[in-house]
Chain A
């Protein structure tokens, strides 16, 4: 079972690697933002598989942290691109939600 879980972790890591290659090659920085999503799900899956396979304590906490901070990384990407894309301090169009003020 442990062998299988390790192999599954390796497989997920390979898909993450392929995804990262495509993302980092993508022309412009817009594509690279996707790395946050990719690592937030693929990285968490690989980590859980590795943790259960090797029986390390605390890997679930680590996966919780990874999920939280991958979302934070997405915020950092958007915050950066908002400043960078517009070339200055004003938030550019890239950040507006649909309509902005409407309640959900």
Chain B
């Protein structure tokens, strides 16, 4: 048992130290770099807590896509200037913020330590009813069967987010292609990476969605991997993002949520409630929803990173 304790101690110290470094970082760019490293290390913590599904999401989204967004944002905001020069806030207010954050952290720690052992949980109830959902992975069972409404709302909310980002463009730019990704097509190794990695990424994504029914995995992680591969292809200049007015991409965006809602409404007749599945059909229905959602969520995540549209140089863009 002491080995496990030693590993946990090293991990905890490492993550804590990294968090302190990020907070004390002098430039926005350095802090964003640290945050990506932090996400990759946090996955190890999730593994120690036996939450592999969460670890998958942490790596795919926290370190991958969110990190990419943060680095892009930091690169635009005077990346080499220190925070003092940018004049973010005075020493007094920063001290107050630090105090509040510490208070929240101490409060959370106190709540966790004060919990009765064993902590009150619905896990035994989920476990008892898992066989009826047709899937073997309890996380997938909860997300797609017991609490499917939450998952539906989470996927629906991505589309207004995309509309929000698109609304940041100016009128003359509407109708163009998303333009926030840098163009690194002259970079040799990057082009090689963009040609070689995506096939593996697609295989891994399909594997994650398929295996998510029984083992850790699922549509969200698979979609994040697909989005990351697509962004890689776009950044290397091997493909172009679709125009914001493209009907085909809009159709693909709503396909997943529509399938989800459609199956949910059908459940009213077939099984008695919105988003209820008839028992023999539960697993095929869940897989169908996940497959459709993977495509839509991957497209949304990629477009979220690609940013608001920018008019092509020199052309008159047709308004929709």
B residues sitting closer than 8 Å to A (CB atoms) are: 3-4, 6-7, 10-11, 13-14, 17-18, 21, 27, 29-30, 32-34, 36-37, 40-41, 43-44, 47-48, 50, 52-53, 55-56, 59-60, 63-64, 67-68, 71-72, 74-76, 79-80, 181-184, 186-190, 192-193, 197, 200-201, 204, 207-208, 211, 215-217, 221, 225, 228, 231-232, 235
Contact = CB atoms under 8 A, between A and B. Distances in A.
B216 A43 contact: no
Given A16-B14, A75-B235, 14 more contacts: A4-B3, A14-B10, A29-B29, A29-B30, A47-B44, A51-B47, A54-B47, A61-B208, A62-B59, A65-B221, A68-B197, A69-B228, A75-B232, A82-B182
Contacts of B200: 68
A97 B189 contact: yes
Interface in A19-72: 20-21, 24, 29, 32-33, 35-36, 39, 43, 46-47, 50-51, 54, 56-59, 61-62, 64-66, 68-72
B50 A56 contact: yes
Contacts of A46: 44
Contact of B64 (A16, A56, A72): A72
- Interface majority SS on B: helix, strand, loop or mixed? helix
B59 A65 contact: yes
A58 B217 contact: yes
A16 B52 CA distance: 21
A21 B53 CA distance: 29
A15 to B, nearest CB: 10
Nearest to B11: A13
Interface of A: 2-4, 6-7, 9-10, 13-14, 16-17, 20-21, 24, 29, 32-33, 35-36, 39, 43, 46-47, 50-51, 54, 56-59, 61-62, 64-66, 68-73, 75-84, 87, 91, 95-100, 104
13 contacts: A20-B14, A29-B33, A32-B30, A39-B40, A51-B47, A62-B55, A66-B40, A66-B59, A69-B63, A83-B75, A84-B29, A84-B79, A95-B190
Contact of A58 (B10, B52, B231): B52
A20 B216 CA distance: 29
Given A61-B207, A61-B208, A91-B183, A35 B37 contact: yes
Contact of B71 (A13, A39, A77, A91): A77
Contact of B184 (A16, A32, A68, A78): A78
Q: Chain A: interface secondary structure?
A: helix
Contacts of A99: 188
Contacts of A43: 40-41, 43-44
Contacts of B33: 29, 32-33, 35, 77
Contacts of A36: 36
Given A7-B3, A62-B216, A100 B228 contact: no
B250 to A, nearest CB: 26
Contacts of B13: 17
B141 to A, nearest CB: 15
B204 A64 contact: yes
A67 B18 CA distance: 21
Nearest to A57: B215
A68 B186 contact: no
B226 to A, nearest CB: 11
B134 to A, nearest CB: 19
Contact of A61 (B68, B217, B228): B217
A56 B186 CA distance: 43
